[in-house]
Amino acid sequence: MGHPKTLYGTAPAEGKGRENTFVKDFLALIKIGIVHSNSITAFAGLWLAVFYNDPDSHVLQYLDKIVFAMIGVWLVIAGSCIINNYLDRDIDRFMSRTKRRPTVTGSFSPRFIIGLGLSFLAVGTLFLLMASVTSAVLGLIGSFIYIFLYTMWTKRKYTLNTVIGSFSGAMPPLIGWAAVDSDLHFAAWVLFLIMFIWQPPHFLALAMRKSEEYRKAGIPMLPVVYGTAMTKRQIMVWILCLLPLPFYLHSLGIPFLILATILNIGWFVLGLVGYKKGNENQWASKMFVYSLNYLTILFVSMVIAPLL
């Protein structure tokens, strides 16, 4: 008679195997990598808000806001990613990195997926409201941009989809900051700019690596429409735009400025090395991996810098 059908697709024979597969599918559904990286940037924004607004205070004074904001950010981002997966299930089947998502394999029912995504968004927004109204509004704005302006509109029509998506990806530091300081200090907007400018070179490098898959899926990424030469120039220009931004955070100290500058120059130099060589996929892979490490190191250093 075969294995029984459940809400979670076809149940494996072994309970443990089913549980492991369920966890993997759930983590893929919420895009756990995106949730984690954005949680780091949100926490950095929250942490720096305490430093800039009340440097003599103890962080435990803001423990309730930290807990509410971080749970809210996690849920709002996860909910937005779930809805993104639901909407992209028709094109994800064409790409190797997305074709095993539960929205493509049918592991979860569409009704369950959309219900879970909306529930996460609603509960996450309530948690953000308990931190501050401003952080909740910013969370909703970020979700709106990601779901409607990026996923449902520009991703399938325009090469500027990467730039539009960058607005939503740059919101977490602002959301975290607003949980402590609703007035949003100038430094909060510097964090927003860093995140906004970081994303195009990161995602364009990925698009270069997966250009044939994007072409097959009918997604108008820059290398698909205008070629790799144009894409490489765009990547280098965006990286150059990052160079002055750490200096607007000079109050974090000289060690931070040195580290951030080394990271920026290192990324640009890495781009120059091999820029003219023929192996463009290898070049794009190195740029993509560097961008991931860049983001983690930079924002973790922002958290550490006030403690020095």
Q: What is the pLDDT of residue 20?
A: 63
9 phi and psi angles, rounded to 5 deg: 55, -135
Digit-coded pLDDT (tens) for 93-105: 888 888 889 999 9
| Dist. CA 152–CA 83, nearest whole Å | 10
Q: pLDDT digits over 264-279, tens only?
A: 999 999 999 988 877 8
Q: Which domain holds residue 262?
A: 15-307
In 3D space, the residue among 71, 72, 46 whose CA is nearest the CA of residue 61 turns out to be 46
In a domain, 246, yes or no: yes
Residue 293 lies inside a defined structural domain of this protein: yes
- Do 88 and 148 touch, CB atoms closer than 8 A? no
**Residue 5: φ, ψ to 5°:** -85, 140
Given this model, what pLDDT does residue 130 score? 97
Residue 67 lies in a domain: yes
Q: Which helix (H) or strand (E) holds 92?
A: helix 89-92
Question: Which distant-in-sequence residues (6+ apart) come within 8 Å of 123 by Cβ?
Answer: 75
Largest CA distance in the chain: 68
Beta bridge partners of 10: 5
Q: Other C-beta atoms within 10 Å of 163: how many? A: 18
Residue-wise burial string across 262-288, b where 16 or more C-beta atoms lie within 10 A, e elsewhere: ebbeebbebbeeeeeeeebeebbebbb
- For the segment 52-81, what is each residue's pLDDT rounded down to a tens digit? 887 777 777 889 999 999 999 999 999 999
Number of domains in the chain: 1
**Does some domain include residue 91?**
yes
Q: Residue 9's pLDDT is what?
A: 42
| CA angle in degrees (0–180, nearest 5) for 234-237-240 | 150
Q: Is residue 10 part of a domain?
A: no
d(CA 154, CA 219): 10
Say what the pLDDT of residue 193 is: 98
Cβ count within 10 A of residue 156 = 16
Classify residue 7: in a domain, yes or no. no
pLDDT reading at 8 higher than 50? no
Closest CA to 52 of 173, 186, 174: 186
Establish if 4 belongs to a structural domain. no
63 vs 241: CA distance, rounded Å: 35
Q: Are 150 and 180 in contact (CB under 8 A)?
A: no
Does the residue 8 lie in any domain?
A: no
- pLDDT digits 0-9 by tens, 192-209: 999 999 999 999 999 999
Provide the CATH number for the domain around residue 133.
1.10.600
270 phi, psi to nearest 5 deg: -60, -40
DSSP one-letter string for 16-46: HHHHHHHHHHHHHHTTHHHHHHHHHHHHHHH
